């Protein structure tokens, strides 16, 4: 029987999560991250005052979660290792308790025929490393490479798919431009240095991996197509610059091994180039990724600036474009994000045409909804809106595959509703709902639907 939307054999059906968002910072022995520190300093900045100690308790409940993954047909699952848990303080002694925990999780996944995809850094800088300057300091890069080496030595005998970073641009934006991550700096020059050094850290880990191991290493980027308001040259220019800042800044050096010339020229013109070292360009050239994870939630729409920026204001990417709210756009009204399913296809076509059709997969896509209890019927959240959301994105992904895009899978964000940084538990994304008081997990309707999709490797519509 052939389905309307049949996916290629061995397509990766799964979901993604991260250490800080699920493990619980007070569970087991662990060093502190910037999130523990920021929550101590400013608990009021976290939705309903809920911090990283109150998570879905994966540390103690991973067996139950993995069983549930198996039940809904996952063949892959992306998790992250907490650097601060594995090596408290970021460098020095390895925490044996953490080794046991990650070994147990990896083994449990494999025993359930779920391939673990393991990511090394998901927004969770160890506090001591941040105190040394975080990614602004090259010493922190060296410590990160040692941490990666330790993780490979411990787990690469069983983990065959690795990632260096999840959305590395987000700590740049949050921590150094727009004040939604610690250390809450607003300074473009420093932001650009942090971005640059993160890319160097990434490339050094790729180099190390390729030297010693034969499987795959990649990076996970949040790619956000920048659609121009119109075809007027000024709108087109605004969208091109926006794309340089927010997509190509990380995509080009990690997939093509070099920064876009136009971005370098622009930063040079405004005196914003980062400090570089001899050998950096060669390092990037020689250490591109094997696999690209694409996180896609919403598009960005831009237009030419309505007013010239004040030349005395500090340099910001927004000097070059204004955001644009397209009339009639479809919204996820709960999260306040536009839903534009075709974006997933446009990204894939771009990767095919301009990035050598690199092997990729959708590493995050999902719909955050507030107060989902409203939709409970007979004890289960009937999230038809999420089914619709996933289905419409999958249709465009299917079309991309039919047109020759090299995309291997789809992971939903996320498996069980989890703690999400400043938003804590505001927006729920999971296949399973979480009762934070009892820690009880219940499959939402979308989980049951996804189980069928995974079993049939596709769906009818």
Catalytic residues: 167, 364
- Taking CB under 6 A as the criterion, which residues in 20-59 touch ligand BG6? 21
Distance CA 6, CA 2 (A): 7
* Candidate residues 15, 18, 95, 224; the one interacting with ligand BG6 per rule CB under 6 A: 18
Distance CA 170, CA 185 (A): 13
**Residue 277 DSSP symbol:** -
Distance CA 141, CA 194 (A): 11
Phi, psi at 66, each rounded to 5°: -70, -35
| Min separation Cβ 237 and ligand BG6, Å | 28
| Min separation Cβ 171 and ligand BG6, Å | 11
* Candidate residues 427, 433, 446, 454; the one interacting with ligand BG6 per rule CB under 6 A: 427
Q: Check residue 235 for interaction with ligand BG6 (CB under 6 A).
A: no
The count of chain residues that interact with ligand BG6, using the rule CB under 6 A, is 13
**346: exposed, middle or buried (Cβ count in 10 Å: 0-12, 13-18, 19+):** middle
The residue (of 7 and 135) whose beta carbon lies closer to ligand BG6 is 135
| Min separation Cβ 434 and ligand BG6, Å | 14
Residue 381 in contact with residue 417, Cβ under 8 Å? no
Look at residues 201, 228, 166, 232 and name the one whose alpha carbon lies nearest to residue 21: 166
Q: Give SS3 for 26.
A: coil
Q: Give SS3 for 333.
A: coil
Scored b (16 or more CB within 10 A) or e, 295-321 reads: bbbbbbbbbbeeeeeeeeeebebbbbb
- Taking CB under 6 A as the criterion, which residues in 126-185 touch ligand BG6? 166-167
Q: Check residue 413 for interaction with ligand BG6 (CB under 6 A).
A: yes
The residue (of 295 and 433) whose beta carbon lies closer to ligand BG6 is 295
Q: Check residue 423 for interaction with ligand BG6 (CB under 6 A).
A: yes
- Taking CB under 6 A as the criterion, which residues in 250-309 touch ligand BG6? 295
* Candidate residues 420, 433, 446, 454; the one interacting with ligand BG6 per rule CB under 6 A: 420
| Min separation Cβ 429 and ligand BG6, Å | 6
The residue (of 15 and 295) whose beta carbon lies closer to ligand BG6 is 295
- Taking CB under 6 A as the criterion, which residues in 176-215 touch ligand BG6? none
Residue 384 in contact with residue 318, Cβ under 8 Å? no
| Min separation Cβ 121 and ligand BG6, Å | 11
Binding site for ligand BG6 (CB under 6 A): 18, 21, 166-167, 222, 295, 335, 364, 368, 413, 420, 423, 427
């Amino acid at each position: 029987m052939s389905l309307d939307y049949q996916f290629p054999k061995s397509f990766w059906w799964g979901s993604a999560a991260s250490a800080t968002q699920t493990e619980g910072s007070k569970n087991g022995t662990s060093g502190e991250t910037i999130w523990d520190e920021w929550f101590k300093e400013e608990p009021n900045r976290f939705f309903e005052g809920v911090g990283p100690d109150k998570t879905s308790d994966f540390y103690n409940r991973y067996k139950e979660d993995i069983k549930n993954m198996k039940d809904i047909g996952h063949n892959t699952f992306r998790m992250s290792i907490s650097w601060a848990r594995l090596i408290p303080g970021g460098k020095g002694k390895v925490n044996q308790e953490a080794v046991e925990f990650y070994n147990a999780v990896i083994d449990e996944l494999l025993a359930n025929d779920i391939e673990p995809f393991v990511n090394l850094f998901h927004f969770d800088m160890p506090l001591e490393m941040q105190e040394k300057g975080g990614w602004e300091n090259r010493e922190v890069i060296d410590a990160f490479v040692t941490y990666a080496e330790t993780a490979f030595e411990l787990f690469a005998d069983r983990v065959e798919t690795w990632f260096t970073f999840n959305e590395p641009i987000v700590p740049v934006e949050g921590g150094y431009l727009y004040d939604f991550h610690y250390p809450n700096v607003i300074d473009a020059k420093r932001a650009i240095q942090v971005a640059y050094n993160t890319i160097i850290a990434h490339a050094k880990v790729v180099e190390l991996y390729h030297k010693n191991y034969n499987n795959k290493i990649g990076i996970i980027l949040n790619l956000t197509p920048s659609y121009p308001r119109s075809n007027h040259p000024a709108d087109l220019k605004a969208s091109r610059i926006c794309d340089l800042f927010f997509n190509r800044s990380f995509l080009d050096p990690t997939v093509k091994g070099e920064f876009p010339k136009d971005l370098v020229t622009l930063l040079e013109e405004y005196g914003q180039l980062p400090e570089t070292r001899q050998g950096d360009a060669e390092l990037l050239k020689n250490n591109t990724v094997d696999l690209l994870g694409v996180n896609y939630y919403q598009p960005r729409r831009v237009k030419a600036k309505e007013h010239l920026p004040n030349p005395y204001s500090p340099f910001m990417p927004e000097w070059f474009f204004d955001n644009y709210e397209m009339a009639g756009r479809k919204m996820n009204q709960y999260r306040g994000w536009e839903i534009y399913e075709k974006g997933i296809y446009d990204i894939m076509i771009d990767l095919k045409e301009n990035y050598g059709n690199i092997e990729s997969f959708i590493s995050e896509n999902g719909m955050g909804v507030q107060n989902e209890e409203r939709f409970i019927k007979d004890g289960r959240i009937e999230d038809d809106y999420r089914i619709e959301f996933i289905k419409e994105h999958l249709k465009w992904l299917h079309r991309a595959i039919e047109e020759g895009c090299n995309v291997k899978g789809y992971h939903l964000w996320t498996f069980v509703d989890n703690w999400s940084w400043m938003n804590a538990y505001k927006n729920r994304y999971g296949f399973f709902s979480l009762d934070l008081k009892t820690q009880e997990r219940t499959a939402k309707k979308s989980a049951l639907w996804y189980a069928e999709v995974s079993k049939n490797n596709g769906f009818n519509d």
